[in-house]
Structure 1
Amino acid sequence: MGQHTAMFSAALAKPSAAARAAAVALALASIFFAPLSGGFAMLPAQGAPAQPGTLAEHIAAGDKATDARQPKLALAQYEAALQAAPRSTDALWKASGAAIDIGEVDTDEKRREATFAKATDYARRAIATDSSNAEANFAMARGLGRSALTVGPRDRIKFAKEVRRYALKTLSVDAKHPGAMHVMGVWNAEIMRLNGMVRLFAKTVLGGQILGEASWAAAAKYLEQSVAIDPIRAVHRLDLARVYRDMGRKPEARAAYEAAIKAPLKDANDDLYQRQAAEELRALK
């Protein structure tokens, strides 16, 4: 956080609006990584062409690959399902999620950008088939978040609004959706972590008045709810620990970090999250 603050201050000290906008863009970038954030990890398997089958068979095979933390195999199956039924809402939002998982660990910038664009397209198509589907809206929040990393500061403000809108839409359909709660928790936390001048500049110059609604209390509440509903996911506990840490609630942060470290491996990047939790726990003073 100190490094980011220094970069914000240096940019804002300059009279150039472009420099200030660039600082805002850098600061806002971390908002769009929720709920899976922080570096790259190797995936356990590569994708392979799926054998012909029915819609249900391909979705079931994709779900099995997802449970095995093999998103490339999962995406191949979901895309095969879409060959059989292009308007399958379930296949679309699941393909979007698998694509995001793949993009998050891809170190090739152009390929990662294309993968996130694909994820957003799948989510958009899922919403077109069923606008009230909670998972389709959640996939859209995630996809837009990743795609936002490829645009300029003004567009990032727009994306921040859209990420929030789709996360809240998810919660309006499924009030106990832990992923959407996580997105909202990190959304609030990352805005509160911004330098005050950066936040003011974003609100007054870039049209991001919605940023004024963020609070630490909301960040903690959303993440506490995500943990309560889905307690076995390491990433929920990791980001809750970070919020507690930044709020000065160190005993609670320590407990949340320890819980993240002990959580079972479930998501593709859980081994990475547990390493981060261990490192941040050691640094907690």
Structure 2
Amino acid sequence: MKWSEPLNCWICGKHADTGEHKIKKSLLTYIYGKGPYKGDNSLSHFRKDENGRDFLKELQGPNAKQIKFPKNICSQCNNVKTQPFDFAYDAFYKYLIENKSIIDDGFIDFEKVFGSNWRFEQENLYKYFLKLLGCDLDAHHLPVPDDIVNCINGIGDYRLEVEFSINLDKYLFDPYFKGLIGTGDLSYLSKDIYSNDKNSYKWSIFFSYINIDLWFDWPRYSKNNFSFRIGNKSVDLFCFSPLDNEQRIEVYKKIYGGCS
């Protein structure tokens, strides 16, 4: 999609002079180094073009414009107000990538991720997801719900549902798939559908073998125990395998040149 540059920060309303990374810079450098990504270290960035077709472009470095949102947030909000959210996400993804024991455990223990200050940092992590979703909505010229802005400012309700899951096929072929980082397609329902008075949104983030699903006011017919709730010391993990056995064998052949 081709984005135009909004004029104002969607958090505070001031002039927007920075663009948040859609794919986090620190995560890219954590896995791939500081760049530049050339030769044997070259990276490919897959995305949709403005007509919705798959588009491939080389990624030169972790600060490339193609992996940033348009300028829709001011430097004060991006570099000061929400910086603790970024730091919490940094600690979170590093822990998950480095501690594969979470798969056998079947849950994430936030005290192990953040230490004794886990309650405070857990909320910062939650607000990072709000920040990223808000940037994506604004970039698509969709209204950012007041509750997202209010929650970032410490006065809103926790209406965003967050779920963490493990892609077992990516885990099986690690480290081949370790470097896959990105976001899913944004889905939304207009406020007229289901007689809802507000828009509903669904989005996702992924890195390594971890999937993070975000649901804001999305109509869901059944609840489960995998939702991330502020104040809960742990959250259950859902494990899934998108490949069937034949597909898994084909992937194995392509990677290792043989059959198991």
Name the TM-score, length of structure 2 as normaliser: 0.25
Between Structure 1 and Structure 2, the one with more helix by share is: 1
